[in-house]
Amino acid sequence: MKNKALAALIPAYDKDGMNTTVAIYEDMSAENLRVSIRTAISRLFQEKLADEKGYRKWAKTIAKKKTGLALMIKDTKLVGIRCREVRSKGDGSMIYLNRDLIYDTEDGYIHIRGLTRIPVLAKKRTIRDRIKDCDRISKAYDEKMQG
């Protein structure tokens, strides 16, 4: 991944039907990472020298849930929202959006500064809950890093 501010990680299928991830950056450039969303997230943690397993274990206690956790990787806050049906086991169905760029939500859509509106498979309430979880984890993360 490039050394740019991340706007979104989007799971996709390439022209051959293979699972891939597209990284969209705040300057609106894009990069096909040619790996699954799961691998892309693991690599993001590695690049930022962060402990993914330790983070997930800690974040589960803050959010009080096991799935759909927001990702805090150094200064990047990513909210995970389901965006597609899964074709087969192991396919990623979550899009990860930079929390700082989300400015509005509606049933089935999230509005992102610079990217217009992005379709998702979630109602407005679910989206708001995911954003609140992200904010709660972010606050606890900041306190943990300062303390």
Q: Please tell me what DSSP assigns to residue 58.
A: H
pLDDT, residue 116, reads 79
pLDDT, residue 91, reads 64
pLDDT, residue 1, reads 65
Q: Whole-model pTM?
A: 0.89
> HSE (CB half, 13 Å, CA atoms) of 92?
23
Ordered mean pLDDT values, 10 residues apiece, the chain (147 residues): 84 87 91 92 89 91 84 89 75 86 94 86 93 93 83
- Apex CA 121: angle with CA 41 and CA 94, to 5°? 10
